[in-house]
Chain A
Amino acid sequence: GQNIDQPTEMTATEGAIVQINCTYQTSGFNGLFWYQQHAGEAPTFLSYNVLDGLEEKGRFSSFLSRSKGYSYLLLKELQMKDSASYLCAALDSNYQLIWGAGTKLIIKP
């Protein structure tokens, strides 16, 4: 079956760095997405990786290892507004998105 695993909840301190991991098992693979979702709001796009390596975009970076079925989202210089759920999703061979349950990130002052 197809499956995405990510931690349910993480806590970090304002100004620090946090890494949210995601492992995936899919029928074929056409890329890995990260979305941010604030409570009561819609998910918004953060990043897309299809090749191995690190993609950096400001304070946020995303890493992919296709051979390991593994990705992580790295958030630097954490701000209180980064408190949200972070959703990992893999695109399978049929170009359908398989979603993880999301990681709730709590930022403490």
Chain B
Amino acid sequence: IAGITQAPTSQILAAGRRMTLRCTQDMRHNAMYWYRQDLGLGLRLIHYSNTAGTTGKGEVPDGYSVSRANTDDFPLTLASAVPSQTSVYFCASSDSRTGELFFGEGSRLTVL
């Protein structure tokens, strides 16, 4: 049982480079989310998707974009990375019956 798979697990990136974090789920959940988690702060929502073909902006969307071509995949792209985007990124999906979130293992991104 895979659940949610994120890749890469960690990455060091030069500022100005483009980067895509991948996220795939096999639970057929409609809703998916991208969060960033920084020390001392709660999880902050970057973008979300309530169903395939639709996306929405969360609390901190600037500098990030997402797409949802199908139910399973929800990639997050940093068009031109900046040091303030150094963080741990979590992809999640939610069970529409219970509202419970299932998280991927996280992607630790360092922008130098």
Contacts and interface: CB of A to CB of B under 8 A. Distances in A.
A101 B40 contact: yes
A96 B99 CA distance: 10
A25 to B, nearest CB: 14
Contact of A43 (B41, B44, B48, B103): B103
| Interface class of chain B by DSSP | loop
Interface residues of B, number: 18
B99 A31 contact: yes
Interface residues of A, number: 22
B105 interface: yes
A36 B55 CA distance: 28
A45 B101 contact: yes
A79 B42 CA distance: 25
Contacts, number: 46
Nearest to B35: A99
Interface string B79-112: 0000000000010000000111111111000000
Interface string B9-53: 000000000000000000000000000000011111100100000
8 cross-chain pairs, A with B, having the tightest CB-CB distances, nearest first: A99-B42, A42-B103, A99-B43, A101-B42, A45-B100, A42-B105, A100-B42, A43-B103
Interface of B: 40-45, 48, 58, 90, 98-106
Given A33-B99, A35-B101, A42-B105, 8 more contacts: A8-B40, A30-B99, A41-B106, A42-B104, A48-B100, A99-B42, A99-B44, A100-B42
